Amino acid sequence: EKENSIQIHFRNYDTPEPGALSKERVETRKIELKAMFQEICEKYPDVENVVGFSWLYNIDAYTRLFPLEYMKNPTQAKDWFRSVALWGQFIDGAGEARKEMAGDFKECIQNKSTVEDLSKCFRYKVLIPRAPVEYFYSFYTIVK
């Protein structure tokens, strides 16, 4: 399956205000995603599946950009403590630390002694959604 899959990733190149995932930016993000999937359709016709890997899949502002089928049954990544896919939740759109969230995390880890207990201190888990690329072509009205 991996050979015929494409993994998507969000990188924020937008200005901090009003926010890359704000309601004001939804149409902009969808236009960008439509262009990306149009290119995938044209240049990589063998792609069958789309896979994600991020804490952002816990956020409605992010998941509303994708077809519902993509988020039906995401799996949860385990043991990804060295990944931005997990630690990125502590950084805001301007690249600054989310102080309240970081404070809550620091307080939570004070008395944890196992990796399993430590993992419970992260507000958002890394989720791995997947779906056939056809759902994306339909969602973004891409004609093959």
pLDDT in tens, 84-105: 788 889 988 778 899 999 999 9
SS3 137: helix
Per-residue pLDDT in tens (0 to 9) along the chain, 144 residues: 567 999 998 877 777 678 888 999 999 999 999 999 999 999 999 999 999 999 999 999 999 999 999 999 999 998 777 777 888 899 887 788 999 999 999 999 998 999 889 889 999 999 999 999 999 999 999 987
**Is the preceding peptide bond at 129 cis, omega within 30 degrees of 0?**
no
Sheet of 49-51, strands arranged across: 5-7, 49-51, 130-132
Q: How long, in residues, is the chain?
A: 144
Residue type, 104: D
